[in-house]
């Protein structure tokens, strides 16, 4: 099994007034491990995933699979992806068996029927369904088919991009259980992308937090969730629906400038630290911290705990720890 490494990956769309969706990301998905990637929409999570499978143009840096640049790999890469929306990721005019067959490398197509049956059973679907069209399946079942198709390519690395966010809560659990058991059974390396921290926490060995095209914190899942270093991670944890607080409660100590702060415009990322326009420990609240306006905290990040991209992460004691959220 091999590891997936993003080496200073940059993805830029458009020309002079374009958008840098991913800006110098270094991320390592160790062999056989699950790395959860969280962040808000527009932070570049999906673009990063699509860059790995060749759907987004990598304008700088490299994506390495087992040490080899993915652009040098043959067209059928041992790197597969499951998409967010199971209603659009399967061709409505192909039977699910045909969809899966397409992903089986040509050399192994002879025993395709047996292989399809094996894959469908692996994802807990009745092999007799191979002749059905996606229209006859529910959302959860379609997502299983999408997973089976990804596995048909015998991948070493699997990328899962928000695979449960289009599913109902009652179905989500079954898909997550399945993904976990398949990942463990096959020893896959996996990049698991979700905006939902609870989902990421359940599946991941490591957690990476992305903000405006950059990774701002990375570490073992339990540590990052129990002892978040970057203020953005702390904010995400605090905003996650939890059994123990009312979401309506406005924290008395929270200044109004923060309560309604807007996410920055990715077309014009702020200078210095990209989070300073929303940061509760930054110059908005503590005016003496003008360092954040000038200096990019990314440079010294590798030396900090969890590689936090924050000038002051080590000065701060975590203001908010999630009760019971220690990640078992």
Restricted to residues 260-279, the positions that interact with other proteins (CB under 8 A) are 260, 262-263, 265
- Find the binding residues for other proteins in span 205-264 (CB under 8 A): 225, 235-237, 239-248, 250, 259-260, 262-263
Residue among 75 and 288 whose Cβ is closer to other proteins = 75
- Find the binding residues for other proteins in span 40-59 (CB under 8 A): 40-41, 50, 53-55
What is the smallest separation between the CB atom of 303 and other proteins, expressed in angstroms?
27
Name the token pair of 136. Answer: 């006859």
Would you say 160 and 179 are in contact if contact means Cβ atoms under 8 Å apart? yes
What is the smallest separation between the CB atom of 159 and other proteins, expressed in angstroms?
9
Q: Which stretch binds other proteins (CB under 8 A): 2-10, 12-20, 92-100, 289-297?
A: 92-100
Name the token pair of 229. Answer: 């270093």
Closest by CA position to 203, among listed 179, 225, 227: 179
Residue among 69 and 314 whose Cβ is closer to other proteins = 69
Residue with tokens 């405006």: 212
What is the smallest separation between the CB atom of 135 and other proteins, expressed in angstroms?
4
Residue among 112 and 291 whose Cβ is closer to other proteins = 112
Q: Which residues contact 240 (CB under 8 A, 6 or more apart)?
A: 196, 197, 198, 322
- Find the binding residues for other proteins in span 111-140 (CB under 8 A): 133, 135-136, 138-140
DSSP state of 14: S
Write the DSSP string, 316-328.
PPPS---TT-S--
Which residues are registered as beta bridge partners of 118? none
Q: Which residues contact 127 (CB under 8 A, 6 or more apart)?
A: 116, 117, 120, 121
- Find the binding residues for other proteins in span 161-200 (CB under 8 A): 168-174, 176-177, 180, 195-199
Size of the site for other proteins (CB under 8 A): 80
The binder of other proteins chosen from 20, 47, 84, 183 (CB under 8 A): 84
Would you say 6 and 58 are in contact if contact means Cβ atoms under 8 Å apart? no
Closest by CA position to 86, among listed 202, 151, 168, 155: 168
Work out whether 8 is an interface residue with other proteins (CB under 8 A). no
Residue among 186 and 300 whose Cβ is closer to other proteins = 186
Dist. CA 130–CA 114, nearest whole Å: 11
Which H or E element spans position 69? strand 68-69
Per-position x/- string for 286-315, each x denoting binding to other proteins as judged by CB under 8 A, each - no binding:
------------------------------
What is the smallest separation between the CB atom of 166 and other proteins, expressed in angstroms?
9
């Amino acid at each position: 099994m091999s590891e997936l490494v993003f080496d200073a990956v940059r993805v830029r769309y458009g020309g002079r007034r374009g958008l840098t969706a991913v800006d110098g990301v270094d991320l390592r998905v160790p062999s056989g491990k699950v790395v959860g990637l969280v962040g808000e929409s527009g932070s570049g999570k999906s673009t990063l995933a699509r860059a790995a499978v060749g759907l987004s143009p990598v304008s700088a840096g490299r994506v390495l699979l087992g040490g080899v640049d993915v652009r040098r790999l043959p067209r059928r890469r041992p790197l597969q992806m499951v998409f967010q929306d199971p209603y659009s990721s399967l061709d409505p005019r192909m039977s699910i068996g045909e969809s899966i067959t397409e992903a089986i490398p040509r050399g192994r197509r002879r025993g395709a029927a047996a292989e399809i049956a094996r894959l469908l059973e692996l994802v807990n679907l009745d092999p007799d369904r191979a002749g059905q069209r996606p229209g006859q399946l529910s959302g959860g079942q379609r997502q299983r088919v999408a997973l089976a198709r990804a596995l048909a390519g015998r991948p070493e690395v699997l990328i899962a991009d928000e695979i449960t966010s289009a599913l109902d809560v009652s179905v989500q659990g079954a898909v997550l259980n399945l993904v976990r058991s398949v990942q463990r059974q096959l020893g896959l390396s996996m990049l698991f992308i979700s905006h939902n921290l609870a989902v990421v926490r359940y599946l991941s060995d490591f957690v990476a937090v992305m903000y405006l095209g950059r990774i701002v914190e990375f570490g073992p899942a339990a540590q990052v969730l129990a002892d978040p270093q970057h203020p953005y991670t702390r904010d995400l944890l605090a905003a996650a629906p939890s059994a123990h607080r009312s979401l309506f409660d406005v924290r008395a100590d929270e200044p109004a400038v923060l309560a309604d702060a807007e996410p920055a415009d990715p077309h014009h990322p702020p200078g210095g630290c990209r989070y300073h326009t929303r940061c509760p420990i930054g110059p908005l609240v503590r005016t003496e911290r003008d360092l954040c306006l000038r200096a990019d905290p990314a440079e010294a990040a590798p030396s900090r705990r969890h590689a936090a991209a924050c000038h002051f992460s080590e000065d701060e004691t975590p203001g908010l720890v999630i009760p019971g959220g220690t990640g078992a």
